[in-house]
Structure 1
Amino acid sequence: MPLKEISTLEQGVGELGRPASQRPASVQTPDMNPALLTTFLENALDGVYVSDSKGTLLYVNPKCEDITGYERDELLGRSFAELKILPEEGSSNAIELLQEHVEGRSTRSVRVQLTNKAGRSVSVRVATNIIKGVDGNVILGLLHDMTGHESADEALSEPEQRFKDMSERSLVGMYILQDGVFRYANAMLARILGYGPDEINGKPVRDVIHPEDWPLVEEAMHRRISGELGSLHYEFRTVRKDGEIRDTEVYSSRTVYGGRPAIIGTYLDVTERKKTENALREWEARWQFALEGAQDGVWDWDAVTDRVFFSTRWKAMLGYAEDEIGDTLDEWDRRVHPDDKIRVYEDLERHFRKETEFYQSEHRLLCKDGSYKWILDRGKVIEWTAEGNPRRVIGTHTDITERKRAEEEKRHNARLTAALEMAGAVCHELNQPLQVISGRIDLLHLDSTDDRIQASLAVMKEQVDRMGTITRELMGLRKYSNRDYLGNLKITDIHQPPEENRE
Structure 2
Amino acid sequence: MDRETESFEKKYKALFEAAPDGVAFVDSEGIIREVNQKACDFLECNREDLVGVPLIEQPFYSGEDREDFLERAERVFQGESVPSTTYEVETKEGEKRHIEMNNSIIKKDDDFKGLVLIARDVTERKKSEKKLRESERRYRELFESTNVGIVVHGSEGEIISVNPAAEDVLGLEEKELKEKSLDYWRGKLYRENGEPMNVSDFPVSKVYDSKQPDEETVVGFSLPKGKETKWYITSAVPHFNDKGEIVRVTTFFKDITERKKASERLEMAMSAGEIVFWDWDMVEDKLNFDERWEEMIGYDIDELGEDRSIWKDLIHPEDIKMVEKELERYLKGETRIYETISRMKTKDGKWRYFLDAGKVVEWDENDNPKRFIGILRDVTDQMKAEERKNFLHTLLKQDLGSKSQTIRGYLQLLEEELDLPEKHREYLKKAKKASGEADEILGLAKKLEEVEKTEWVGEKNIVKVLEQVLDDISNFVERKGVEIEKPHPEKIGKVKGDYSLNMFLSQILLSRIQLSQCDTIRIDVRERKEDILLKIEDNGKKLPEDIKNLFIGESYTGETTGVGGVRYYMLREIARHNNANIEVKDSDIGGVRFDVHLKKTE
TM-score range, shorter chain: 0.3 to 0.5
TM-score normalised according to structure 1 size: 0.44
Q: Tell me which of the two structures has the higher relative contact order, counting C-alpha pairs closer than 8 angstroms and 6 or more residues apart.
A: 1
